[in-house]
Structures are given as C-alpha cells and as structure tokens.
A and B are shown apart, each in its own frame.
Chain A
C-alpha cells in the first residue's frame, strides 16, 4: 500500500514537473528598443533652420533630451510585462548609446499586442534627488517649480525659431510639472503633465533565446499640431512656468510616437 502511495506521488510529481517543463519550453528572449527622432517623416537634422511647424514658424532643432518610463509589453491575454523593473530610460540625441536600450531582463517568449509607456516620469517616482549622476541629473526640474513630485524635466527640446519670421531666437520647449499660480510668483498647486501612450503591435513576438529589435519613433512635428496648433511666437522661448503651454504640449503628445519592428 505504501509502495502504491509512493508510486502515485512520483507520478503526480512527474506530471507537475512535466507541466513546468512545458512552461519553460516557451522560453525567454531579449528585446532591444531603438529610439529615433524624425521630422516630417525623415530623420531629424540638427542645427539647420529647415523646418516649418503647423503654426508657420520656421524652426531648427539643436537637441532633444527626454525620459521614458513604465515601458510595458502587453500580451494577448492583457498580461503586462514591465520592462527592467520599472527602469527609467534617458534618451539624448547627442549621446548615441542612449538611443539604444537593450532591455536587461529576459522576456517571456510569445506574441505581444501592444507596447505602453509613460512619456516623462509619473509624479510619485519623479522625486527630487532621484538622479545624482550625469546626464540624467542635468534634467533637474527645480524644487520651487515642481515640488515633491516634479524632480526632473520630462523633455528638453532645444532649438531656434524665426521670431516674427525675422529673428533667429532660441526656444526651450521644456515640459515637466506645471504650476498653478494664485497670483504672480505664488504657486498654490502643481499639474502632472506626463502622459501614457499605448501603441498597438501586430504579429510582434519575442522569440525564445533570440533578440528582437523594436524602434520607437518621436515624430517631432506632431508636438505642434493636434489638437492644439502650437505657435512659438505666442509662447516664446521659455515655458517651464507656463502651464497653458505645457498643457497643450501634453495633449499634443498623443500622436507623437509610433513604433516600427521587423515583421510589422
């Protein structure tokens, strides 16, 4: 009788481990996310006054620096795989290695139907002092302008526009936590301007023991178009304490990003 019990337990154990084995057979793969910055469908060209936005401003781009966070793959059963344990990735058009994020954690093989991410950093994570090393620390959003949940810019897009069509003038298209002013220089509250974007994937798979590449594209011209036509002549070169401008940028961000991948 005891022998039968032992045999039964061994069989059950074998069945269970057999199930585990089939799980493992799905395996794990790797993902590399590349970041591109385009204007009107072509790779962004820097330091050249060759672009025109929806408001008719001629403009040039000097550099783009920004944070992406909460990057998550959504599988077919709506399961979420948050990449690299909530890693906050810094992207800088002047720092080539930052344009490529090799996700460190292995990702379960299978098909994924969407990628979701936060542009910028959500307030509860965006605490002053989060970064002490360069270059991330240079993204500081000063405490007086951001409070306890506004430690860093979401993005710095620096460049020049032809002010009133005649004068090349610097602009700092900077977005982060906005402020509510009761009166001038009297901040009574803050506005979180980060936003989430979900981009659908079709036929995108992570393959076992293989590395997959995915390209996330910032389409720069879309920051200035929908639903708000953004006019540099109206908002000028500095907007960090202009929530009206930053709020429009945040809303315009909905269609700024697109995704490309092999097998698309």
Chain B
C-alpha cells in the first residue's frame, strides 16, 4: 500500500507464511520434476514462525530461501559439522559452532580454552601458521531474523550491497556469490583467511562426499545435489530459528515474574534520560536498535571495517552496531574489539570513560562530562537489570544444540 513503507503490516509473518504456503508446493513440484524425474517427489514442511510479542513483525527471510523444517534440520547439522571447512583432519575442523557456541550465547566467550580473551582466529595457513585473528569480535547469532539493518558490526552484509563477489556460482538467484544476505556469511566464512581459510569447491566436495547428507539435501531441496547455494541456505534457515526472548525482563513485561527492587531501579535507570541506555539498546525488546553509533570510545580511528567503510559518510567514522544486550551477562568480551572483559568495565566506561571526537554520535550527549556519572549503587542496580536479560532457555534448548548423532566431526 502506498505511503505505508514503515509500519506496513502486510509484510508481517502471517503474510510471509501465506506466501510460503503458496510458493512451497510450486517449488516442490519444480524441484522434483525438473531436476531428476527419476526421484520420488519429496514433501517439504513450511516452518511456522511464532509471533513474539513486542518483537518486530517484519522478518528478514529472503524470497529465495523460504524456511522449511527439512532445510533447518540440514542447516543444524552443517552448523555443527567441522567438515564444513572442507577438511576432515581433526586439526582442520571448523564450522559455525566453533565461534558461535550455544552455551555462550552463540559467541566465543572470554574464557574460551583456545581463543584467548575470546578473540577467535582462523585455521592455520602458510602465511598464518597460528591462524589469523578475526578483525572484530564475534557477534551473537540470535534474533537475526528480525534484523533488516545489515549484518556484521558495520552492516556490510545488506541487500543493497552491490560489491562484486565471486562469479561462477548460482547463489540466491544471482550468478555470483555476493554480500547481500545472511546466507552470504556462510561462503564468506569458508574463504576468509581469518576463519576457515578454505575454498568453496573444497567444502562442496567434502559435504557431497558424506553419505549422511544425501537424503538430507534431498529432503530439504528436492535432490541430493550439494551446492554452496544450498549449504548457505540451509545454515541460514537454522540460524533464523535462533530466537532469544525468554529472559526475565521480557517475562516481567508479560507480567509473569516480578523484578527485585535492585532490578527495578536498574530498569528505570536503563530507560531514563540520566543513564540513557535505551536510545541505542531499546525500541523493541530486541534490546538493540540494530543501528550504528560512534559511542565515544576513541579519538583515533584506524579500523578499516567501521560503519564509514560501508556508507562513506565521515560522521560514521568509528561507528559500529549497537549489539543486543540479551545475554550480555555471558557474551563478553565487549565492544567490536573486545576491549572490555566484564560488564562492570562496560558500565564504568559509560559512566565516566567517554572521550570526545568530532565523529561521536549526538546521542552520546554526556560525552563532555565523560559519561553519565553513575553512583556505585546505580551501577549495581544497572548491572542487576542487565542480568535479567539472560535467556537461559536459548543456551540449553536442544533444538539449537548439536545433533546427537553428528559424531566425531562435531566442533566444540
């Protein structure tokens, strides 16, 4: 409908589902009839997204990749299978779950046994025998289905990104691998030297050689053929199911639990002009605006992967996405470069550690006072509130964990 671009409920999940229900049988017919007429027709079951109150109704699910239970099941296996690296030697296993650990809020965590201080690095290469460090810290993978503002710390992955990818592959309806979709992050991880340091063809060949996957690809996509397009789609489907909404504060909003006096004081502080967390970390109950801010951490900017690198707007120098605070209790280290190890350090920073630069976001209105100047009691209350944002169900939900029969190639 004209003029209704921003609250158009016509794009809500119900419509997406209707589209799914209409499109799926057609797709099934095409996939089962045109690719291999000798195979039995397969039935795919559309995945039904449950609406979450106070969460966005607009879902970021590309038309090219409708979600099905079969696709999600395949994606879950691939997510945890270390052979996604294209190699099966125990020292060369890597998959999404290597750095996105369920029990750690789908991040690395500060006390990871291998990645010191929570800073991951890629598989060894001749140039980087110890593995190259990632340019930024990992970001959590939950609630990505609600994010249409771009993925990664700088929003580089966005449908409007027309940067040339790798030609020669059919991918999401394009004839090259591109940087537009959540799906794009899969092939990018495979080839990035600070991640799998592998190749697309090697990974496709490896996955295609594993008998277990043949019926799963057929169930998900209509034939056993393995392509980077299908691998990416399946993993993206699984990741889109990772929804974090069962945290204490959300239950408080639903009138299911009470907050303690300290948590309540912290809640009021969080949503006050004094502490002013909410302008960047609220809106919906995602606990982020998914927008990008220079939050007054630095006066010198040398990172080539900030928001400026995406928009070329000078005022976006040193700006990064405000991450969701859901599970902030456990998914440190904090900030894009992991400079803060604890929540206390983060609170101290916003209280008295801000530094002015010409690029600071105007929402950092206390920057000239170096922060919001919280008392020790206020800091404790604010922290108590932040701890109500932990979704323990997400961390232990078996549907999001590794398949029990994935075997020795499961990454940990």
Tell me the interface secondary structure of chain B in the complex. loop
Please give me the residue from chain A that is nearest to B59 by CB atom.
Answer: A133
6 nearest A-B residue pairs (beta carbon) = A142-B271, A102-B2, A237-B365, A170-B362, A158-B362, A138-B283
Which residues of B sit under 8 angstroms from A239, Cβ to Cβ? 273
A133 close to B7 (CB less than 8 A)? yes
**Contact residue among A104, A137, A145, A171 (Cβ-Cβ distance under 8 Å from B2):** A104
**Contact residue among B6, B272, B282, B367 (Cβ-Cβ distance under 8 Å from A135):** B6
20 A-B contacts (beta carbon < 8 Å): A62-B362, A87-B3, A87-B4, A90-B6, A100-B3, A102-B2, A103-B2, A104-B4, A132-B54, A133-B57, A138-B289, A140-B282, A140-B283, A144-B267, A144-B271, A167-B368, A170-B362, A170-B367, A171-B362, A241-B273
Write the A118-156 contact mask toward B (1 if CB under 8 angstroms, else 0): 000000000001011111111110111100000000000
A142 close to B362 (CB less than 8 A)? no
Give the interface of A toward B (CB within 8 A). Answer: 47, 62-63, 84, 87-90, 97-98, 100-104, 129, 131-140, 142-145, 158-160, 163, 167-172, 237-241
- The A-contacting residues of B in range 346-375, CB under 8 angstroms, are 358, 360-368
* Complex Cα–Cα for A131 and B4 (A): 13
- With A172-B362, A238-B273 as given contacts, are A142 and B58 in contact (CB-CB < 8 Å)? no
- With A137-B56, A140-B283, A238-B273 as given contacts, are A171 and B3 in contact (CB-CB < 8 Å)? no
User: Smallest distance from the beta carbon of A176 to chain B beta carbons, Å?
Assistant: 11
13 more contacts with CB within 8 A, not counting A131-B7, A133-B6, A145-B272, are A63-B362, A90-B6, A102-B3, A129-B53, A129-B54, A133-B58, A134-B283, A140-B278, A140-B282, A145-B273, A160-B362, A170-B367, A237-B365
Give the interface of B toward A (CB within 8 A). Answer: 1-7, 53-58, 148-149, 267-268, 271-273, 276, 278-279, 282-284, 289-291, 314-315, 358, 360-368
Which residues of B sit under 8 angstroms from A135, Cβ to Cβ? 6
Please give me the residue from chain B that is nearest to A131 by CB atom.
Answer: B7
B4 close to A132 (CB less than 8 A)? no
User: Smallest distance from the beta carbon of A220 to chain B beta carbons, Å?
Assistant: 15
* Complex Cα–Cα for A135 and B149 (A): 10
User: Smallest distance from the beta carbon of A48 to chain B beta carbons, Å?
Assistant: 10
Please give me the residue from chain A that is nearest to B365 by CB atom.
Answer: A237
- With A88-B7, A132-B56 as given contacts, are A142 and B365 in contact (CB-CB < 8 Å)? no
B3 close to A104 (CB less than 8 A)? yes
Which residues of B sit under 8 angstroms from A138, Cβ to Cβ? 283, 289, 291
Please give me the residue from chain A that is nearest to B8 by CB atom.
Answer: A133
Which residues of B sit under 8 angstroms from A84, Cβ to Cβ? 3-4
Which residues of A sit under 8 angstroms from B2, Cβ to Cβ? 102-104
Tell me the interface secondary structure of chain A in the complex. mixed
User: Smallest distance from the beta carbon of B266 to chain A beta carbons, Å?
Assistant: 12
Which residues of B sit under 8 angstroms from A172, Cβ to Cβ? 279, 362-363, 365
Which residues of A sit under 8 angstroms from B363, Cβ to Cβ? 158, 170, 172
**Contact residue among B3, B7, B365 (Cβ-Cβ distance under 8 Å from A170):** B365
A62 close to B3 (CB less than 8 A)? no
**Contact residue among A90, A132, A168, A238 (Cβ-Cβ distance under 8 Å from B284):** A132
- With A84-B3, A133-B6, A133-B58 as given contacts, are A171 and B365 in contact (CB-CB < 8 Å)? yes
* Complex Cα–Cα for A144 and B279 (A): 14
A145 close to B271 (CB less than 8 A)? yes
User: Smallest distance from the beta carbon of B5 to chain A beta carbons, Å?
Assistant: 5
Which residues of A sit under 8 angstroms from B55, Cβ to Cβ? 132
Among A159, A239, A240: residue with most chain B CB under 10 A: A240
Which residues of A sit under 8 angstroms from B278, Cβ to Cβ? 140, 142
B360 close to A170 (CB less than 8 A)? yes
Please give me the residue from chain B that is nearest to A92 by CB atom.
Answer: B6
* Complex Cα–Cα for A89 and B3 (A): 8
* Complex Cα–Cα for A137 and B363 (A): 17
Which residues of B sit under 8 angstroms from A47, Cβ to Cβ? 314-315
* Complex Cα–Cα for A63 and B53 (A): 30
User: Smallest distance from the beta carbon of A239 to chain B beta carbons, Å?
Assistant: 8
Which residues of A sit under 8 angstroms from B368, Cβ to Cβ? 163, 167, 169
* Complex Cα–Cα for A169 and B358 (A): 10
Among B5, B6, B276, B314: residue with most chain A CB under 10 A: B6
**Contact residue among A140, A167, A238 (Cβ-Cβ distance under 8 Å from B365):** A238
A137 close to B365 (CB less than 8 A)? no
User: Smallest distance from the beta carbon of B61 to chain A beta carbons, Å?
Assistant: 14
A133 close to B56 (CB less than 8 A)? yes
Which residues of A sit under 8 angstroms from B362, Cβ to Cβ? 62-63, 158-160, 170-172
Which residues of A sit under 8 angstroms from B56, Cβ to Cβ? 132-134, 137
B3 close to A132 (CB less than 8 A)? no
User: Smallest distance from the beta carbon of B139 to chain A beta carbons, Å?
Assistant: 18
User: Smallest distance from the beta carbon of A61 to chain B beta carbons, Å?
Assistant: 9
B6 close to A136 (CB less than 8 A)? yes
* Complex Cα–Cα for A240 and B7 (A): 25
* Complex Cα–Cα for A139 and B279 (A): 8
Which residues of B sit under 8 angstroms from A158, Cβ to Cβ? 362-363
* Complex Cα–Cα for A240 and B276 (A): 10
Among B1, B7, B282: residue with most chain A CB under 10 A: B7
- With A132-B56, A145-B272 as given contacts, are A170 and B289 in contact (CB-CB < 8 Å)? no
* Complex Cα–Cα for A59 and B358 (A): 14
* Complex Cα–Cα for A169 and B291 (A): 21
Which residues of A sit under 8 angstroms from B365, Cβ to Cβ? 169-172, 237-238
Please give me the residue from chain A that is nearest to B265 by CB atom.
Answer: A185
B315 close to A62 (CB less than 8 A)? yes
User: Smallest distance from the beta carbon of A1 to chain B beta carbons, Å?
Assistant: 54
* Complex Cα–Cα for A129 and B55 (A): 9
A240 close to B273 (CB less than 8 A)? yes
Please give me the residue from chain B that is nearest to A138 by CB atom.
Answer: B283
User: Smallest distance from the beta carbon of A149 to chain B beta carbons, Å?
Assistant: 17
Please give me the residue from chain B that is nearest to A158 by CB atom.
Answer: B362
- With A47-B315, A133-B56, A159-B362 as given contacts, are A142 and B282 in contact (CB-CB < 8 Å)? yes
